[in-house]
Structure 1
């Protein structure tokens, strides 16, 4: 049952029972002594039968269904407090007091005041005081929300009820003035003065009189707008700006690195919100913190004579001055929370925007807005707004490049825009060329009083010496990111956290740090100016060693023309292996590549070469990462040339030869191997010579130059016999594969079997699998399909255990070809589909062409002649581009069969004729099979 006592009593009962109910409701759930009830109901002279009358009235309340119970000492209303409107009112007022959201606060107080329906029958004076306090709190919240016009009428009604409530009248004056009704506001003051003088014989208080003077003078907001000029070309930050514009005041901490646009956002938002904060729009530059409170007080028209000396007293006066007012304050360049605390207004109607390069820590009730650089589109839009659409549209790609070279940092983009705007004759491309040089980029990012370098310098000089040193170290490394496996060997985590707090570093992922490009250039500049060269080079050397200790533990045996020269490079793995190697290298590849280049830039040729070479066997060679392979080795080779170390040059040339070999650029690969071989011979390095000869032999094999291949591979085997078991296996495999192509099946089987045994002795599972596949190919060429499948399946299973997905594609293709020759087309096609996807994933052009040709053979065998023509034509084009005569000939032979099956005799003759010429010139096994083609398809061609 609901009980209402804030007005006429409900439920309706006779007057005396109603009074008793009201008293019990005020003390709901508590025992009210009989004597106190009698005193409250009948006063100091109760009737003789007051106790009996009380009992009668209580009985009537019970008959009305009200839960009034008798206790030893008196009576109690046994109900939930929220069932009584007074207690519900008090609960809502208390909730509003704890509420930070002004909208919720105002609505909660409005609901509380809505429970009142008139004058209470008991305790009226006390309860009215509570209602007045709630009304004033509600008005404060509404005014803080800028609802000036909306509150005029309700405030007028409250003033009529409480004519002597001076604060309430002041709120009405404020609402009228802010609603543009200055004359009405002054009339309220005059009426207030008359009522106070007539009723109480006193003048209005100082606060109300000051309010009157403000209204009388008018234009309060224009006198107190101390904001810097708003940027007319303000760009981006839509989400952050929306949060600020939708806010209901409070304190906001806008944080971000130097030049990211913190001040621009705060000032822009303050200008947009000026109408909602008409009592003042203030700006304080805390880069120069002295006198901040003095400046704020003077901005609010506090006379100098009233400003106290002590900071504590000034802070108290500041809070009193803005109490009840709507003020937006921008505190720019805050470096610590201690700077901010004395400057925060106590009034809920104020908005404080703090900008800082430091991360928030220890300030209660603050909302945080972190800023990062602009998006690429936003950065170009900002440039467009500064320069004009015509200049940017004339060179859109160059504008994109300017934004990129500026690192999408608003300050840098604004500076470049200002420079171009002041030089109408400059094309955008001219500034691109000037910004492209890292060494002078910060020199270019200066325009009048704007400079990226000086902005960063301010943050840097505020650091302690340890943090400054870490900043220079991070910059000199030249890496955009530094993961834990590097920094743990170079830097202290606590010091790095200082750089994070100063917004000179960002944390990404787990214990991984990133530095903005322009910040890195500044840090590198300082390192080169302040740190000795020996220390700088030692830093990079230690970073490379840290990388080596991790990467070397991830190397694997690969079947390469150039076996890894680990023993001569002297690398020792000491770091723990990442649990997911592929994911780790995918994440770290660009960083490791850049680290090799950085070491090479500094002339650290040997250690740059070491890391470059280890990366081949850990990742580049395994996953065909050709671009990174080429970048690292080219950079290392340039450093080696300067040192004159011919042996390291030969090693790197061999590796580049291998890279071109794997990319199917055989002519280029041969050139690198030839030069490396000459260098090794001149150095008297037998093992190096063998490595280069192995590479030359594999290139010659693929080019169809079989005598050269056998000579080179035989020489490699001879040189490696007592030095490198795995290298011998490589040579034997090459020799066996050449014998297979030449039709020397017995020689091929013997050599490949020996290669398999040799690989097994070297514990090279990849080599063993490759040799097993080669043996299977010999049996397949001889028509021994069961034996072929046995060896190839064994090879495929071994490869699966090594994780070499590309070699698995080749074993899958070989197996599929056996299956299609057995007539098992569906499983063959499934294997070929998997192989094709794998080759495409790593960009293996030869593998794709090989699988495509096999698919053509499958279509031909299955009777899909048109489908076979399509895929075989594509394979032929690929083999022609790759310069592989044997595979071109084999594909022409198959295309000739397609033409024959389609009854196209001329087409068949043309393809077979060219194929026969190639096979004869190469001297391969197919040269002896030419006469069989026409016999086999003669009947079909003659139809």
Structure 2
């Protein structure tokens, strides 16, 4: 079944069942049960029977989970997941319903995941007492609470931070911002990447996200003003990493982890340094017993504990073997560890720990298929993954076999469940999985797995891009036109799914290039554009686009090189960090792309002409940003000419919108009026239905033009249509702009009360969108001496 069905579809069935039948809390179960019953039942008479079945399955799963009976939990999950897959085969429309159900479950789960506590956690009472005392003292003094948890790898620094946050979750309400600053893909994480993700999480409007790092940091601080915030910064190695990330909010909390605090961190930040010690033997024994759920005499485990150096990660790895009721397993594990310790003295806690032997022992005892999945996860460049990635790695397995292997890795401490359909390997475990993949897989096997990984993420990314955008994409095998425009619900779903997989997607671009899959690398870099545009992932976008360009050059496909050059240029144009030279780099790449599509040469392909038009549009936008509207007009006009004879109504409409706005800047108001009216008409008449958002945006620009030439009453008429057109299409930010402008025009017309009403509405919408323009609306209200409530 696995090879015949899209891995994402197979995963859907497992996710919805594991979230609602497995360990879902009662309110989530109450919310989801009716939705799940409705999937299986079309005849109302069967509802009660199916509901009873689900209730019974839930009770059995919870009892089995409590008793440590993982086989029963797996059996229940497999049975109901199979029923969902059968439902998909009978009713393909059910896939959409399950996508919605899973999406809602993911959304509901997100707040709780920020402060997940470990199921089994022991000791560190003294450590928590010090953290609590420092936190109370800082709150009393009105200063930021900062703590640096240091210690060897595997000692449980992140778990300690999470446990402390969880234990204070009722008080630490507000914003939770997390970042892993460790090595990823062989490089240290760029603070710009973290800031861009945080700006997206804080819902800062895309048009207001700055290009340079200091400005990004200032905007994050602005969003956090007067808000309680908790930072969790993991694997900190340098002061530079954290310098731009932190706020000076007096009631904020900053928890940092790392092997040791950077020597110069005290010059930037006052913090409490707290080494996280290895567990004492009695506490290590307690953790081992709890995690393994063993019924053996704890005294028999003491030799094992002494060999594991008190490292929670090593203890959790070994606990996985003790769950199996095999006679002699305790003695065997103890002997293996003792022998390793005697030979290489790995068990001194001050040494880089006893994990190598614990990992080898865990790997050596795996069943064949569990070991195979472990190795294949090691070939992923990133440590985070989702269930559909697991299914994609083992396409020839039955879904139940893949779920069983994953469950075994989880129960053995090799994979951590981070939330609903979110999994992670500790970096040390991932490193080991990579090593054994290189050691125990043939080169051809590794190559096949890497190709499978890349194709999995390419399929997800191109499908997401076509949902988010109607733009034309190029492929030498299929120069395909855009899909019809997706509705807002589908676009929201696509953004959420791409965001959950972004680590894997960006890693897949690098993996494809390193594996020599150059066609796939540049196609991936082409397909991430709209996701990056919508979410502000500028730094990762530029890096991926540059990798895509290098791979396009390797393919020898001139058209691919032109498209990839255009993508790099557009990424720099969007970031617009002048200190980084974005204006120069954007121009250089646009001009390179233009030179490759033979402007003015007869008999060119449609792809070449489309690319010429896109590049000229990009150059026009560049000139407009540089305040040179005259140059921009010429470039937009040439972009229009390149499309003559090509059926591309959306492109023509966008160019008319650009031209109209630029003519306004040149005070050529009649020309602007004509282009903007044409843009409205063309957006309304698109073959796949009216583009209401861009129609409203064109009317907003039309109103700006009319106001500039004194046609105030006609400007209000255009703004009325703009405000109405933006309602309900996810464009509150632009609706607020239209209301702000309408208020300004109404004041000029002497309609003060109506203006105050507009500004009040604009202020509310800007506040909802987290926009700094809220202050502009407030200033107008104060200037007029009142506001309507």
Q: Mark the structure with the bigger radius of gyration.
A: 1
**TM-score, with structure 2 as normaliser:** 0.50
**TM-score, with structure 1 as normaliser:** 0.42
